[in-house]
């Protein structure tokens, strides 16, 4: 991964073979990012998406293999249990141009992934809520 500071945050290039969520987490740890906006595009091979089922409080997960364009990678940085937490959703499409979207659990870059991070100087914190099945932001 390559990183460049910008006027409002950072530009990142996540390279082929690197995993997106792990790379974003590593970046946030190194740079001390605890609040910010994530926006990106690129291409992935293996990717695991999730859909949150409110009634059960659990995610339905599906893994996609093969080549997929990233039509949109969007999310935010926050903190969970004192550690950086990138929360991302992604839209992917294969050669048939059929889109699939959901919570990004894992995505391995196949060509490149170009990400813009817009920083917030504060900290967004998440609360562990096993009763809900997810960890919501705690906003004042």
Predicted confidence (pLDDT) per residue in 111-139, tens digit: 999 999 999 999 999 999 988 888 999 99
pLDDT on residue 133: 87
pLDDT on residue 140: 81
Looking at the domain that runs over 2-125, which CATH code has it been given?
3.30.1330.80
Q: How far is CA 73 from the centre of its chain?
A: 7
Mean pLDDT, to the nearest integer, of 79-107?
97
pTM: 0.94
Where are the domains positioned within the chain?
A: 2-125
53 vs 120: CA distance, rounded Å: 30
Element (H, E) at 86: strand 83-93
CA angle at 70 for the pair 64 and 71, rounded to the nearest 5°: 125
Mean pLDDT, to the nearest integer, of 1-15?
98
- For residue 76, the cross-strand partners are 37, 87
Tell which phi-psi region holds residue 95, choosing left (phi > 0), alpha (psi between -120 and 50) or beta: alpha
Show the tokens assigned to 127.
């609360």
Instruction: Report percent pLDDT > 70 for the chain.
Output: 100
């Amino acid at each position: 991964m390559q990183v460049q500071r910008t006027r409002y945050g950072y530009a990142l290039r996540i390279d082929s073979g690197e995993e997106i969520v792990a790379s974003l987490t590593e970046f946030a740890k190194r740079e001390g990012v605890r609040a910010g906006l994530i926006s990106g595009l690129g291409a992935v091979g293996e990717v695991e998406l999730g859909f949150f089922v409110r009634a059960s409080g659990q995610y339905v997960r599906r893994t996609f293999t093969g080549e997929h364009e990233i039509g949109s990678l969007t999310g935010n940085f926050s903190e969970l249990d004192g550690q950086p937490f990138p929360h991302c959703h992604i839209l992917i499409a294969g050669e048939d141009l059929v889109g699939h979207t959901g919570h990004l659990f894992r995505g391995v870059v196949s060509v490149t992934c170009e990400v813009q991070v817009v920083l917030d100087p504060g900290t967004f914190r998440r609360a562990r809520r096993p009763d809900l099945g997810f960890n919501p932001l705690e906003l004042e």
